[in-house]
Homo-oligomer: A and B are copies of this chain.
């Protein structure tokens, strides 16, 4: 196996990259500017060393606590609870939220062996108790695991006095009723609002 084949094997382990795509990427890299290739390799190899978990919110960061947790311009009384660090990025890019984050690191899924203790729920309880948290927004996927986790967190936090909310579920903007599944349609009915 030569260098091309070895890199194809390694790249096809990445999500959404099949053998054909990996092969196309390798041939692109072979034709690319050597400076670019060097930089790409450096950034990849440096990633595990430079990026750590924030000890406060659990997101990825270069400095601990992360910039979002130390930014005084953000609302410290609202916590947005997400499943994964990449959800923080997605929400930040939407500019819809200006509070603090809390990354669970997973969702409760008993069938897959993920129990409440395996994700950062007790740490969430600690944060809500110790800080003056007004609202906890659960930005979890509208799936069975997301619903289970939301319910569990709701129960865990019920004596803290914080308002617990969850992101609305319904028709995607630009979507079509015809192509919307029944469950989404049902949720959009339950979540309907007055005009």
- Chain A residues near B (Cβ < 8 Å): 2-4, 6-7, 10-11, 13-17, 21, 23-30, 34, 36-48, 50-51, 60-62, 84-86, 89
Instruction: Check if A29 sits within 8 Å of B10, measured CB to CB.
Output: no
**Cα–Cα, bound, A45→B37 (Å):** 6
Number of copies of this chain in the oligomer? 2
Chain B positions within 8 Å of A39 at CB level: 10
Contact between chains at A34 and B60 (CB < 8 Å): no
18 contacts between A and B (CB under 8 A): A2-B50, A2-B51, A3-B51, A4-B51, A7-B43, A14-B25, A14-B29, A15-B25, A16-B24, A26-B47, A27-B60, A27-B84, A27-B86, A30-B51, A30-B85, A41-B44, A42-B45, A45-B45
The minimal Cβ–Cβ distance linking A152 to chain B, given in whole angstroms, is 23
Contacting pair B47 A7 (CB below 8 A): yes
Q: Given A27-B86, A29-B44, A86-B24, verify A36-B13 contact (CB < 8 Å).
A: yes
B contact residues around A42 at 8 Å (CB): 41, 45
Verify B62–A23 contact, CB threshold 8 A.
no
| Cα distance A89–B30 in the bound complex, in angstroms | 14
| Pairs of residues from A and B, 10 with the lowest C-beta to C-beta distance, nearest first | A41-B45, A41-B44, A7-B43, A27-B86, A41-B41, A3-B50, A2-B62, A34-B48, A10-B40, A15-B28
**Which of B24, B37, B46, B86 contacts A44, CB < 8 Å?**
B37
